[in-house]
Structure 1
Amino acid sequence: MIRLSAILLATLIVVNLNAQMNASDAAALESTVDDARIVDNSLQPEYERAKRVYTHLISATYLRVTAKLFPAKKAYQQMLREHEASAFVHTQLASLNMEMFDLPTAEQHCHRAIEIDPEVPMPYYLLGEVMIWRYGNAKHRDKWDDIVSAFQKVIQLDPDHYGFGKNGRPFSAYNYLGEIAEQMGDYQSAANAFKELVRIMPYQPMYYLRLGGLYNQLDNKQEAITTYERAIKINRNLWRAHDALWKLCVDQYDRLYQEDQLEAAAEHLQKAIHSYSELKRLVPPANHKHTHDNELLAQFRARLGSLYVVLERESEAIEVLEEALEITPNNPDTNYWLGIAYQEIGNLEQAEHYLRATIALSPEREEAYNALGYFFAEHGTNLDEAVRLIQIALKKSPANGAYLDSLGWAYFKQGKLNDALKQLEKAVSYMPDSVEVQDHLGEVYLKKGLKKEALAAWQKAIQLSPGNTAILEKLKKHGQE
């Protein structure tokens, strides 16, 4: 019997030689072959047969490499006359007939190759491809199970199935299994298939793109983000990955913010800003759908700045907000949060500037009136204006406990203790769990000589914030008097 390993070796040698030929080399070789004197000494019968097989194999391989498909097919068929039970030759004929778009014949050769040697994966793979070409549309969905079975057999025989076609494009049974599962709406099976491709070829970003999309379909947002980030790590210029990533990060920011996970929310918003900025740089004009890029980036930066203020990361807040202001200087959110950030670090001039700018840009923004009014009250300046500003805010939201607290504190700084007490008692009815309101109420009670009530307010405050050293100091000082 002819050894197929030798046949395969001969094939590889010929393919390698022909792959290096240019057209003139090939023509010269054909001329040389035609002119050469053929030596044909007699061989023993079994070797004569082997010689014929090798001759047909070399001829078929050469003809196929030089795109002479019909003569190549004839040469393979001559090999079958010598050795019909060759799974290798049937596989080659299946592949060749696919190139010639003779799909029924290709399918027959696949089945014959599988019949001869059912432990070789390639005939199953070719069979799956032939069936996709023949039955891959919706009209033949009854055939899809057979297609899936063929590709599943491939990965059963070769769990790491992967290769490259003549055009240099990668191929794998996992790829087809993932595509089919996704078309059928089985996103988990599709994700499993592309996870295998990522395992086998961890530096192919296209598989991460597909896997990220499937995780998104499965509502596994964090896995989708991690997967897109991996694709970008391999190739930072993948605009489709950046496009998917910024949207996912904004979604995660919204969820985390609602859950009061502010550090994590800030991290995701930072990623969204980065990916959206990269998208602007990379995306082809024909694919660009966002006409208000600068405004959107400014909104993201304003949100991030506000988070940094709440997280007491004022210097980072100022940095990101000033970046936003360079793009959209008339954005009320950016001006407002810059004012608050500067207020927190004690830069009074800048705080007043940006809060006044906010009111000028957005007169209906009630929290800006309250913030500027409270700012004046806290520092004991412009107290008449402080009262007027806070009253504007209260006119818009009369049941807002924070605004009532601000007004009460402004009256306290003016020395109007009865007015202050009235507003702060109303504030505490709306915000009984506010440490700041309880603290202000205690100060007013103490100033009015109501020490017992003051201590009670501070006791309530310390229950709400057990580690508050300022409140503890007041209790210690006034409780011993």
Structure 2
Amino acid sequence: DGAFKHYSAAAENDPSRLNIGAKAALLGIGRQDAARSIQILLDSASHNPKSPQPWLDLGAIYQALTNYPKAVSAYRKAISLDRNIPQAYVSLASVLFRLNWDRDADRALREGFRSCTDTSSIAAYCFGQGREFLALEQPQRAVLCFRILADTQAENSPHFHNLIGEIYSEMGDRKQAEKHFLLATRKSPPLPDSFIRLALLYLQDDPQKAVATLLEADRIIPNHPTMLFVLGTAYSRMKRYREAIAVFERVESLVGSSAPGGKLSPAFYLHYGGACERSGDMERAEKIFEKCLDIYPDADEVLNYLAYMWAEAGVKLDRAREYVARALEKEPSNGAYVDTLGWILFKQGKYEEALPLLEKAYELAGHDAVIADHVADTYMKLGNREKAVDYWKKSLQADPLNGAVSSKLSEAGVDVGKFLKAVGRKRKLPSHAAE
């Protein structure tokens, strides 16, 4: 109380002394005497008409009192007196965001970047506020902050456009995501991650565009392993397996010649081996999968893929069963893995053991067409033609272009065209399925 009285008296005697007025106002707030503090600062502002400091202090007091409109007015007055005070723009923007006046906050921050000599504190505020908005699950407001940085921070502009693209991608706004990933690839230096994310976006429904994007990326940023890996997966998606294999070979060579200890992921070996298997080179696929399992013994997707590959070929069935059992230890409710085990038992002629596993897999995997076909084949082996036909129909409903299943139904006496029409799913079938 004594200090407050002392500084208050001093401020009243000489309102032109800014530091005295500020200390008195601060002590007044501490004593919960806001009205007195505000009056002291108003007097100081009146006697120092060219100084922004009393208005900055007033803005802070009004902000602490949640009188946001008056805080806005005070900060704007301070800025009108001196446009080169970064904290004034930051404080103003924080209040405007509090009022949900986001466009005004955007304008204030951009004005700060244009007007201030040192904008590092404004940039730090934008980044921190953007992260806070993300934590609050307010992505559009986060984008506003990061877009300011993308427009004002030339050196880091690609990173901010990439971040904005990620946010829009999470929001499901593909058009805006594509726009910002493209901007990130066209800035200098371009980001490999932006090419990758752009390609993954295209890969959903336009693999050719994904390939073109990654080939351009390889020209600009040559021999980037992750970009090449995505290129290989894009080729595989297009069933251009030979080209995929050639790209995967490049990746393996690049990583193998890099720093000691560098190793490729199970996902790489899964796609590499898968491309070899689909190209018809089973022996090479097996070697790639086994190499992966030497490095990652518990790589469950690779264990399952290799086990299923052997089951389809009818070879190494005991070993296949061992491998899928290891995969199931990690994911006992994975429908694909349960199907593999059931299919191995089928191939071993153990139809009664296979059936409950395959039916369980069908439910776990969400009524998958291939698994329905496996269930049907098993029922047929057990002599239950009616159940077999029922599951072949389920398989064809899920995948109407499956010629092999169409043929099985035709052989069982089912009019496939009539059946598909009845379920409202009639489509053009392969010629051999319509015979």
Into which bin does the TM-score normalised by the smaller protein fall? Answer: 0.5 to 0.7
CA distance in 2, matches of 1:448, 1:366: 31
Q: Quick one: which of 440, 453, 457 aligns to 2:374?
A: 440
Q: CA deviation at 1:406?
A: 0.9
| Aligned match of 1:214 | 129
State whether residues 301 and 320 of structure 1, in contact with CA within 8 Å, keep that contact through their aligned partners in structure 2: no
What is the Cα-based RMSD across aligned positions, in Å?
Answer: 5.8
Q: CA deviation at 1:462?
A: 3.1
1:179 maps to a residue whose letter is: S
| Aligned match of 2:98 | 186
Q: Quick one: which of 362, 385, 392 aligns to 1:428?
A: 362
Q: Name the CA shift for 1:130/1:227 in 2 (closer, same or farther; >3 Å).
A: closer
State whether residues 233 and 244 of structure 2, in contact with CA within 8 Å, keep that contact through their aligned partners in structure 1: yes
Query: Is the aligned partner of 1:238 residue 2:156?
Result: yes
Once the two structures are superposed, the pairs formed by residues 322-361 of structure 1 within 5 Å of their partners are 326=255, 328-340=262-274, 342-343=276-277, 348-361=282-295
Once the two structures are superposed, the pairs formed by residues 261-280 of structure 1 within 5 Å of their partners are none
Q: CA deviation at 1:456?
A: 0.5
Query: Is the aligned partner of 1:393 residue 2:322?
Result: no
| Aligned match of 1:130 | 53
Q: Quick one: which of 305, 311, 314 aligns to 1:377?
A: 311
State whether residues 60 and 71 of structure 2, in contact with CA within 8 Å, keep that contact through their aligned partners in structure 1: no
| Aligned match of 2:340 | 406
Partner SS, residue 409 of structure 2: helix
State whether residues 335 and 360 of structure 2, in contact with CA within 8 Å, keep that contact through their aligned partners in structure 1: yes
State whether residues 289 and 302 of structure 2, in contact with CA within 8 Å, keep that contact through their aligned partners in structure 1: yes
State whether residues 305 and 320 of structure 1, in contact with CA within 8 Å, keep that contact through their aligned partners in structure 2: no
CA distance in 1, matches of 2:94, 2:249: 42
Mark the structure with the bigger radius of gyration.
1
| Aligned match of 2:142 | 224
Unmatched tracts of structure 2, length 5 or more:
1-15, 23-40, 195-224, 416-435
State whether residues 374 and 410 of structure 1, in contact with CA within 8 Å, keep that contact through their aligned partners in structure 2: yes
**Which deviations, in whole Å up to 9, do the C-alpha atoms of 1:181-219 show, x marking residues without a partner?**
527972734663224554998999987875565344333
Q: CA deviation at 1:368?
A: 2.4
State whether residues 208 and 228 of structure 1, in contact with CA within 8 Å, keep that contact through their aligned partners in structure 2: no
Q: Name the CA shift for 1:461/1:246 in 2 (closer, same or farther; >3 Å).
A: same
State whether residues 336 and 368 of structure 1, in contact with CA within 8 Å, keep that contact through their aligned partners in structure 2: yes
Q: CA deviation at 1:371?
A: 1.4
State whether residues 187 and 217 of structure 1, in contact with CA within 8 Å, keep that contact through their aligned partners in structure 2: no
State whether residues 215 and 224 of structure 1, in contact with CA within 8 Å, keep that contact through their aligned partners in structure 2: yes
CA distance in 1, matches of 2:288, 2:181: 23
CA distance in 2, matches of 1:375, 1:398: 20
Q: Name the CA shift for 1:154/1:396 in 2 (closer, same or farther; >3 Å).
A: closer
Moved more, 194-203 or 389-398: 194-203
Q: CA deviation at 1:373?
A: 0.6
Q: Name the CA shift for 1:108/1:425 in 2 (closer, same or farther; >3 Å).
A: closer
State whether residues 377 and 409 of structure 1, in contact with CA within 8 Å, keep that contact through their aligned partners in structure 2: yes
Once the two structures are superposed, the pairs formed by residues 30-49 of structure 1 within 5 Å of their partners are none
State whether residues 191 and 211 of structure 1, in contact with CA within 8 Å, keep that contact through their aligned partners in structure 2: no
| TM norm structure 2 | 0.53
State whether residues 92 and 108 of structure 2, in contact with CA within 8 Å, keep that contact through their aligned partners in structure 1: no
Q: Name the CA shift for 1:148/1:424 in 2 (closer, same or farther; >3 Å).
A: closer
Unmatched tracts of structure 1, length 5 or more:
1-96, 114-122, 156-160, 279-299
| TM norm structure 1 | 0.49
1:410 maps to a residue whose letter is: I
CA distance in 1, matches of 2:295, 2:337: 21
